[in-house]
């Protein structure tokens, strides 16, 4: 009888030990790491190619990000998406970035990924010889865009009042036909919009001017929400690493990058090469960028596009860029 009790106790002990061991195994089993979610806005156009490549080549995925790409028609839509909380990170030109800063929405610029002094091109009918000939003409422009900011500065630099020119709000996709049917006399935009107009209208149109010499390098900004910084700061660093890798890919695998981007944008490889001459890519943030952002901010404020010049430095967070570059 005593032996039976001993055997029973021994059996219970064995079961308990086995259960404990199983619990340890369950507790120590590797937990599958989930990718960080990131809602990212950009456009399928030349200015945004590093983001196109990072998404299409899986570089975001490699950095542990599950990116939902929200493709928009321009930077102003990216700014609006961040302002409303429908996106976490957005790529945009200088004017939408400064406008977003001015709204005091808590958005931060974390890097510049490219720039191009002459990236905004004014293309129109050949009977318009120069910017001075635009008085009384209609010019198609995407309102709120960096191209509109460049256009206003171009008018000012040539002594033309903005009131003397009719600015027609125009979707970039409608620009070629709007010129062809003379709904507008010219358009201004960054690539591939001007090239599309040239291809559709041939010798009837030409480049009237571009944004070179207006005191800005037109930095392309990466903006993030304060909510993303507060909740998933590691996602910001991961995104910058992927974009930096995409820029390097564009340098080392140029032909493959051209083929990929031309396909996504919907232009020929030859047009892609031509368009690339208007912009260069590099992940960074320097004093030249700050000066350019401040310059466009001062102009937007003076022209009534924003209420006042925002504190550019206070709207910049270099933490994540420094982590990538170290």
Model pLDDT, residue 93: 95
Average pLDDT over residues 140-158: 93
Q: pLDDT tier at 148 (50, 70, 90 boundaries)?
A: very high
Mean residue pLDDT of the chain comes to 90
Closest C-alpha to 88, from 103, 72, 67? 67
Give me the mean pLDDT over the 186-195 stretch.
97
Task: Taking residues 236-255, report their average pLDDT.
Answer: 98
Sign of the alpha-carbon dihedral angle for 307, 313, 317, 318:
positive
Give the SS3 label for residue 78.
helix
State the pLDDT at residue 43. 95
Contact status, residue 293 vs residue 219, Cβ threshold 8 Å: yes
Q: Please give the helix or strand (H or E) that residue 108 lies within, else none.
A: strand 108-115
Nearby residues of 1 by Cβ (< 8 Å), 6 or more positions away: none
| Helices 146-157 and 94-102, axial angle in degrees (round to 10) | 100
Dihedral sign (CA 8, 9, 14, 17): positive
Say whether pLDDT at 97 is over 90: yes
Confidence at residue 303, expressed as pLDDT on a 0 to 100 scale: 86
pTM listed for this prediction = 0.86
Tokens in use for 19?
Answer: 């259960």
| Position 92 pLDDT exceeds 60 | yes
pLDDT at 31: 41
* Residue 191 per-residue DSSP state: T
Is the separation of the CB atoms in 284 and 111 below 8 Å?
A: yes
Q: How confident is the model at residue 12 (pLDDT cuts 50, 70, 90)?
A: very low
User: Percent of the chain beyond pLDDT 90?
Assistant: 84
Beta partners for 166? Answer: 138
Which class for 105: exposed (0-12), middle (13-18), buried (19 or more C-beta within 10 A)? middle
pLDDT in tens, 100-124: 999 877 899 999 999 999 999 999 9
Q: Is a pLDDT exceeding 60 seen at residue 11?
A: no
Q: What are 150's two structure tokens?
A: 């460049």
> pLDDT at position 325, please?
83
% of the chain beyond a pLDDT of 70: 90
Rounded to the nearest 5°, which phi and psi values hold at 67? -90, 125
The Cα 322–Cα 326 span in angstroms is 6
Q: What's the pLDDT score for residue 34?
A: 62
Of 194, 215, 187, 197, nearest to 94 by C-alpha is 215
Distance from C-alpha of 64 to C-alpha of 88, rounded to nearest angstrom? 16
In the 8-state DSSP scheme, what is residue 310?
Answer: -
pLDDT, greater one: 82 or 9: 82
pLDDT at 242 over 90: yes
Arithmetic mean of pLDDT, 84-106: 93
How does residue 55 score in pLDDT terms, banded at 50, 70 and 90? Answer: very high
Question: Which tokens is 77 given?
Answer: 């839509």
pLDDT, one tens digit per residue, over 296-314 is: 999 899 989 899 999 999 9
Please determine, for residue 47, whether its predicted confidence score (pLDDT) is greater than 70: yes
Confidence label for 35 from pLDDT (cuts 50, 70 and 90): confident
Q: Is the Cα dihedral 203, 208, 210, 213 positive or negative?
A: positive
Give residues with Cβ within 8 angstroms of 48, minimum separation 6.
Answer: 42, 91, 220
CB contact burial 146-165 (16+ within 10 A = b; e otherwise): bbbbbbbbbbeeeebeeeeb
Is the pLDDT at 28 greater than 60? The verdict is no
Residue 89's DSSP bridge partners are 40, 224
Q: What's residue 326's pLDDT?
A: 74
75's tokens:
């930077």
Residue 234 scores a pLDDT above 50: yes
Average pLDDT value for residue range 8-32: 42
pLDDT of residue 13: 40
**Angle subtended at Cα 269 by Cα 264 and Cα 274, rounded to the nearest 5 degrees:** 110
């Amino acid at each position: 009888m005593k032996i039976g009790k001993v055997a029973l106790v021994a059996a219970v002990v064995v079961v308990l030990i086995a259960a404990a061991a199983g619990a340890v195994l369950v507790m120590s089993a590797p937990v599958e790491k989930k990718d960080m979610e990131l809602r990212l806005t950009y456009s399928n156009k030349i200015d945004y190619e590093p983001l196109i490549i990072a998404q299409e080549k899986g570089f975001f995925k490699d950095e542990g990000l599950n990116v939902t790409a929200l493709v928009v028609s321009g930077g102003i839509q990216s700014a609006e998406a961040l302002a409303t909380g429908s996106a976490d990170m957005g790529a945009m030109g200088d004017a939408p970035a400064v406008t977003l800063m001015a709204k005091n929405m808590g958005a931060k610029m974390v890097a510049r990924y490219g720039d191009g002094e002459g990236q905004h091109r004014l293309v129109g009918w050949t009977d318009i010889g120069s910017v001075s000939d635009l008085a009384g003409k209609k010019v198609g422009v995407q309102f709120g865009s960096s191209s509109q900011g460049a256009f206003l500065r171009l008018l000012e630099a040539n002594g033309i009042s903005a009131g003397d020119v009719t600015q027609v709000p125009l979707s970039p996709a409608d620009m070629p036909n709007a010129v062809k049917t003379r709904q507008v006399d010219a358009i201004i935009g960054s690539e591939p919009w001007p090239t599309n107009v040239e291809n559709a209208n041939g010798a009837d149109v030409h480049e009237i001017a571009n944004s070179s010499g207006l005191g800005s390098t037109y930095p392309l900004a990466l903006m993030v929400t304060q909510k993303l910084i507060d909740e998933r700061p590691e996602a910001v660093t991961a995104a910058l690493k992927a974009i930096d890798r995409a820029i390097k890919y564009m340098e080392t695998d140029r032909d493959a990058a051209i083929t990929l981007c031309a396909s996504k944008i919907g232009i020929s490889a030859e047009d892609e090469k031509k368009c690339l001459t208007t912009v260069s890519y590099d992940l960074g943030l320097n004093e030249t960028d700050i000066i350019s952002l401040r310059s466009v901010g001062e102009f937007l404020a003076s022209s009534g596009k924003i209420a006042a010049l925002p504190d550019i430095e206070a709207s910049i967070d270099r933490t994540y860029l420094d982590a990538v570059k170290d």
